[in-house]
Each structure stands twice: as C-alpha cells, then as structure tokens.
Chain A
Amino acid sequence: MSAEAIVETIRTGADIAGGGEALLSVEHLTMRFGGLVAIDDVSFQAADRRITAIIGPNGAGKTTVFNCLTGFYKPTVGRLSLHHPKGDFLLERIEGFKTAQSAGVARTFQNIRLFPRMTVLENLIVAQHNKLMRASGYTVLGLFGLKVYRDAEQQAVELARYWLERIHLTDKADNDAGSLPYGDQRRLEIARAMCTEPVLLCLDEPAAGLNARESHELNALLKYIRDEHRIGVLLIEHDMSVVMGISDHIIVLDYGRKISDGTPEQVRNDPAVIRAYLGEEEEEETGDG
C-alpha cells in the first residue's frame, strides 16, 4: 500500500474530537534515547483549523513529540504524516530544517529563542529567508540591487508589518528583540513562526511566564490565527486557563503514553487524567481552570 493510500484511509476513517479534517496523523510514535523510552507508542490526530493541546505532567514527553514533528529528532518508530494542501508529507523522513522550509511546520520554543541582537523587524524578515533567497537569485542577483529583489523585500516587510500589528509591537519594530519585555518576546516568537507561512503551528508553552492580561491576549491571538489564517495549531501548555479556554481538542500524555484524548469537557472528567495530575484520590478539578 502506498503512503498516499495509507494516508487516505486514515483521513477518511478519522473521527477527531473537536471536529475538523485531519491535518496531522501521528501513528505509533516511539522515541527511545538509549534505554530510556521518552514516548511509547503514541497515536493521535490533529485537525486543520483547530487548536489541539498536548498536556501532561513534567517529563511526560510533550516536547519530545514536538521535536519529532519539527525534524529535531528522528523518531525510533512511527509515522508522522502531514496532509498538506500541496500534497502529503511524511515528516519523519524529512531532513531537519526542511520541515519548516517545505512541509510548512513552524514552531516556537519553551525557552524563547529569538535573535536577541537583531531588531524585531529583522527577526520577522529572517523568518522569510527561503522566499527572499529565491527572490535575490541566491544572492547573486540581489548584489546588483535588482527590482525583483527590492519588491520581494517590500512584500516581506508588509507581511512583517501585518504581524507586528497583530501582536501590538509596531512601535518597537526597530528595537533589538533582546530588549523587549518577556511577554512581547513570547508574542514575537509566535509572529516569527507565522511569518514562515506554515500550515501547522507548534507552540511549546507559549503562556509560560505570562501574567493574566498577557495570557488573555495570547488566547485572542491564537484564536485569530486559527480562525483567520485557517491553519492547525498544536499547543503544549501547563496553564489550564489557556488550555481550557481555547483548545478544541486535548491530548493528555503521562510517562510517554497517551492516557486521554478528547474535547476539553471529556478530558476534564476523565478519571485517568485526574489520577495522573492529582494522584489516586478522586478530585473534582483537573487544574486551576
């Protein structure tokens, strides 16, 4: 059976909690580091135009899933297929940096990774590197300052300006990214990922360290991305106000295994989840949300 045929069966047979059409199918994903099993046979699907949250206690393997999806790790076992409008991609077979370049999977990091000594605008322009490289004739034509390149750069600036307005940082566009307050840096990293024009956006704890107002703003931004840009968002988060507030679909991991998968309502009442978070005794709340 060809990869497309497999993907097709998965897609049609899918019934994803929270609705939507499957964008990402993870099947039997296993990641071992030597003797340590970080992820053990996890399968799930994430839908297009939906926000899918991956939650779980510390060390559950959430970030490892992300690293497998975005090409930083090669999974030991498993298939990660992305149903892209341009065709289907098997993410586990793509070389590291090409995951973002050709498959359109963008990510942010748990500990912010901006380019601190470059300006906010430059951060957003660097994200459009591959597009601009082609426009500059791989540097050769760009050296002569051809109009083709100048136009492409202008377009890149316009896209950057659009996202700067979304994250309310237009005024600080020419400041060094490293000089921004923490919350602004978080939002800038999301904007930078969006500037790569992805089909799947993976956010690793975007609300970590944000205050109540900032995480409210973040919720609005993520909803905007989902509804207006019509892409899938995959989210790792500990902040339950964010998770319960905006997720359409939640996957719970514990010790590298998937223990629950469903809508926020289903997950909230799942005894397995309550056990994982609060121990054996039965409690009515899963978190502070």
Chain B
Amino acid sequence: MAVAEAQHTLARPLDVPAVAKELGATGLVIFALAFGLVGFETLDVPGGIGINTRFGDVVGAVAVGVLGRLALILLREHRPKPVLFAGAPLALVVLVLLLSITLFGPETGEALKAFLPFKSPVVMWGILVVAVILVIRAGYAVTHMSSGLSPDEREAKMDRLSARVQRAAKLLGPLLLGFALVFPFLPFADRQLLDIGILVLTYIMLGWGLNIVVGLAGLLDLGYVAFYAVGAYSFALLATYQGMSFWVCLPFAGLMAATAGVLLGFPVLRLRGDYLAIVTLGFGEMIRVILLNWYSFTKGPDGISGIPRPSFFGIAEFTRSVDEGTTFADLFGLTYSPTQRIIFLFYLILALAMVVNVFTMRIRKLPVSRAWEALREDETACRALGINPRNTKLTAFGIGAMFAGFAGSFFATRQGFISPESFTFIESAVILAIVVLGGFGSQIGVVVAAILLIGLPEFFRELQQYRMLAFGMAMVLIMLWRPAGLLAHREPTIRLFGAKGKAGAGS
C-alpha cells in the first residue's frame, strides 16, 4: 500500500517557484539570525574592545541552512535520490577532513581547516551529524519507497522502544549499578572522571527526587533547588555552629527540607498547573534571597566555608594525619592518597541515589503513589472517590523535598563551601530539564538525561559557551518529536494477567 502511495506521489511534478520561495525564506531567516549573532565578534584589544567581522561564516551558515532545507524539501516531495547521491559523498568528505584534523594534530589540521566553512570543529561535527541523519533518511526512503513515518507511527514506535528499554532496565539497571560500583577502580578513572561521576550522580539523585513531584504527582515545581539549598544550609550551619558531624546532620537536613516542603506546599498546592509553577518559582527565589540577606546567620553572599568533610562513618578521617582517632589509610593499612576521599564521596552519593531509586520503585506499588498519579490525571474524580487531594499532594511535595535535602547536605560536605550562588533558578531548570528530557516518571530516563545534560558538557569543554544554546535546542527538539520525554513509557503498577501474558499490549 505504501509503495503504491509513494509511486502516486512521485508523479507529482516539483513546484519550482514554491521551492525557490521556501529556500529564499530559509536563507533570509538564517541570514537575519546569523548576521548579528555570528557576523560580529568582540575581541579584547589593548585599550578596549575591538570588533572582528566573520562574514565568511555568515555566508557558510546561510549556505548550509539552504542546502539542508533543500534536502528536507526533496525528502518531503519523495525525491530521495539526489539527497542520497549528493549528500553521502559530501558527508564522507567532511568526515574524512574532520577525522584527519583530530588525528594529524594542529599543523596539518590548520591547512585542512581551510576547506571547511566553519573553524569550530564542534559546529562542523554538529552539521555532519544532521547531514548523516538526512542521508540515512534518504537511504531509507530509496530502499523502502517512502519518506519515513507519520508522527503517530513514530510515537507508537518510540513508545514500544521505551517500553523495551524499560523492560531492559530490569537487566540494565543492575548492570549500570555494577559498573558504577567498580568504576572508581577502573584504570581510566582519574580524579576528573570521578568528579564528573559524582556530579552526574548528584543530578541523578535530584532528578529522581523531582520525578516524584513532577513525574508521578504532576506538580510542576520550578523551585526545587530551594529544598536543595535548605538541606545544604541545614548541614553547613549545624556543622559550623554546633560542630555536628555529617552522619548526624544527614537525616536532620532531610527533615528540615521536608518541613520546608510541607510548609511551602500548604498554601501553594491548591493552585494548579501554570499557577503552581509560578508560585514555586517565586518561593525558590525567596529562599535564595533570604539566604543572601540574612547576613548575621548565613553570612550572606560570603557563603559558609570550612564545612567539615565526611568521616568514614565516624570511625576514621580522610586526612594525612589527625589529632585524635585514626585516618582511613591507617585503618586499612593503605598509603595515604587524596583520591580515597573522592572515591568515598562517589560511593556515598551512589548509595544516596540508590536509596531514592529503591524508595521510588517501592512506593509506586503503594496506594499513595497511585493516588498521586490519579491526582495528576483528574483531581475532581479523586475527590469523588474520597481521596484527600491536599494531604496526598503534600506527601509528594514533602518526600521530594526530603530527597533534595539529602542531596543538598551531600553537596555541602563535598564542596566544603556553599553560597547562595549555587542555588539559582538555573539549577532548578537543569533538574527539571533532566526529568522532562528523560520522560516523566521514567527512572532510567533520568539517568540517561543526566548523563546527556551534565556528563557530556563536562567532556565537551569547547561547547561551554554554547551550552545553554545546545540545551535549548535539545529541549525544542524533544518538545517537537517526543513531548512526553525521551523514554516516557508508563509501566502499570499492578497487572491482572502478570507481566508476561500481555506485555506491550497496553498503551
């Protein structure tokens, strides 16, 4: 059927003026964007700022954009062959050039770079990836006589894929956990990689925590970082004023954050949707501003320094020598190395994150979690069934806040220094992005998204200044192609026929 349809549409002649118009419009838009953003570059010159023009890059951007659009039009009009035969060699040449630049080092690289429209390899790699996707689509169209899938088919296909990933997660989860457990002892795991690992795990934990509030209960919380801050400051203040240790403070910080969550939630949770999002955003900022201005207590913008590092469960310290007690190295007869503490911190956050994960997995099978999901679906129906909406939402808010509090006190002890600057709105946005990107309610999705959003930018240092741009672009693409999130697939919490009988037959 698809073949006949494709042949039918093939007969349609190409509407050249319309295509030219579309290409012209594309070129114009890209030119308008690129002229200001790419065309001029400010330079530090002695005595002020100079301006460098990059009109070559503007021309390049317009050319690449128009060519890409042409390829899209041809694919849409069922003429994949020119895309395949022109695109494939072009992509291959660029690939070879890029590879030789990376392989042969700077000298040959400089000479080869003259052949490429843009100087930044990252931009070129990006363009190459898009080109390769187009060529693959063209190839698919040539062999299958159709230009890909309709949105519905794609959605259904992605859902099946997500379902498969989630089923695989039963196997993949322990595998990933196993990898995380041996990771610090792998030969390539140096201090930098361990730090990235700790950072990613912190965000995974925060993502899992927020997933309870946003993914399960459907409460869009834009001020999640406030509870992270409450946890961090609870520990930091208790440790510096009262000299309490990390292990004593950890539950206390969680409790403080949960209390803050319930107190904030109480007046706020009668709001729904966008209104709730705006108010939580405001509360998040309020907490930060209080921390910033209550100088006598929180030392304001100076932050709190000298936060004690965690001990080895109160038995030994991770230092070269101690006044009293033993050091970790002495306890186990090792030679002292600063990496030991990093490894310990890595395991600590891994354990904390796993607590959140196990908690979420278990609570999904309990009535309270089903009530969260039901409230997300239809609050009125819940009231008619005798579910108390306020208390149920407050539990979700409080539990989410508690986990943020745990993560916050870990953050404080790891950094040794905190200031309100660490708890700005952008942190909330990143955590929310992890949840949204991964797919609401998907545990493995959060892991994947955290690695993509936190781990990869750490590797691609060059992207640093484009990081937010790439971030925004990724979000737009997700919203276009997969609004529910990358790995969004809801697995029923209970089945009448067991998992095997009708697996995948649902949704």
List the interface of chain A (C-beta within 8 A of B).
70-72, 96-102, 106-107, 109, 113-119, 121-122, 125-130, 132-133, 136, 138-139, 142-143, 145, 149, 153, 157, 160-161, 164, 170, 173-176, 179, 192-193, 196
Interface size on B, residues (CB 8 A): 35
Residues from chain B with Cβ under 8 Å of A145 in the complex: 362
B373: Cβ under 8 A from any A Cβ: yes
Q: Are A129 and B387 in contact (CB under 8 A)?
A: yes
Q: Are B385 and A100 in contact (CB under 8 A)?
A: yes
Q: Are A115 and B374 in contact (CB under 8 A)?
A: yes
Residues from chain B with Cβ under 8 Å of A133 in the complex: 367-368, 371
Task: Report the Cα distance A160→B497, complex, angstroms.
Answer: 13
B388: Cβ under 8 A from any A Cβ: yes
Q: Are A126 and B371 in contact (CB under 8 A)?
A: yes
Q: Are B380 and A113 in contact (CB under 8 A)?
A: yes
B359: Cβ under 8 A from any A Cβ: yes
Task: Report the Cα distance A196→B507, complex, angstroms.
Answer: 26
Q: Contacting B363 at CB < 8 Å: which of A109, A129, A143?
A: A143
Q: Contacting A174 at CB < 8 Å: which of B378, B385, B389, B492?
A: B492
**From B367, which residue of chain A is reached at the shortest CB distance?**
A132
Q: Contacting B505 at CB < 8 Å: which of A114, A130, A139, A175?
A: A175
Task: Report the Cα distance A115→B218, complex, angstroms.
Answer: 13
B494: Cβ under 8 A from any A Cβ: yes
List the interface of chain B (C-beta within 8 A of A).
359, 362-363, 365-368, 370-371, 373-374, 377-378, 380-389, 395, 490, 492-497, 502, 505-507
**From A175, which residue of chain B is reached at the shortest CB distance?**
B506
Task: Report the Cα distance A173→B496, complex, angstroms.
Answer: 6
Task: Report the Cα distance A106→B389, complex, angstroms.
Answer: 16
Given contacts A119-B492, A174-B506, 13 further A-B pairs with CB under 8 A are: A72-B380, A72-B383, A101-B388, A106-B384, A125-B367, A125-B494, A142-B366, A143-B363, A157-B494, A173-B496, A174-B496, A192-B385, A193-B384
Q: Contacting B495 at CB < 8 Å: which of A115, A128, A174?
A: A174
Residues from chain B with Cβ under 8 Å of A121 in the complex: 492, 494-496
A-B CB contact pairs (8 Å), 23 listed: A71-B383, A72-B383, A72-B384, A97-B387, A99-B386, A100-B385, A102-B386, A109-B381, A113-B380, A113-B384, A117-B507, A118-B377, A121-B492, A126-B367, A126-B385, A128-B367, A129-B386, A133-B368, A136-B366, A143-B362, A153-B494, A174-B492, A175-B505
Residues from chain B with Cβ under 8 Å of A176 in the complex: 506-507
**From B507, which residue of chain A is reached at the shortest CB distance?**
A176
Q: Contacting B386 at CB < 8 Å: which of A101, A138, A170, A173?
A: A101
**From A144, which residue of chain B is reached at the shortest CB distance?**
B362
Q: Are A115 and B383 in contact (CB under 8 A)?
A: no
Known: A115-B377, A119-B506, A161-B496. A107 touches B368 (CB 8 A): no
Residues from chain A with Cβ under 8 Å of B389 in the complex: 97
Residues from chain A with Cβ under 8 Å of B362 in the complex: 143, 145
Q: Are B381 and A196 in contact (CB under 8 A)?
A: no
Expressed in whole angstroms, the minimum distance between the Cβ of B314 and any Cβ of chain A is: 26
Task: Report the Cα distance A207→B495, complex, angstroms.
Answer: 29
Known: A143-B363, A174-B505. A129 touches B370 (CB 8 A): yes
**From A128, which residue of chain B is reached at the shortest CB distance?**
B367
Q: Which of B374, B495, B502 has the most CB of A within 10 A?
A: B374
Known: A133-B368, A139-B366. A118 touches B384 (CB 8 A): no
Residues from chain B with Cβ under 8 Å of A71 in the complex: 383
Q: Are B383 and A96 in contact (CB under 8 A)?
A: yes
Residues from chain A with Cβ under 8 Å of B497 in the complex: 173-174
Residues from chain B with Cβ under 8 Å of A118 in the complex: 370, 373-374, 377, 492
Q: Contacting A115 at CB < 8 Å: which of B366, B381, B494, B506?
A: B381
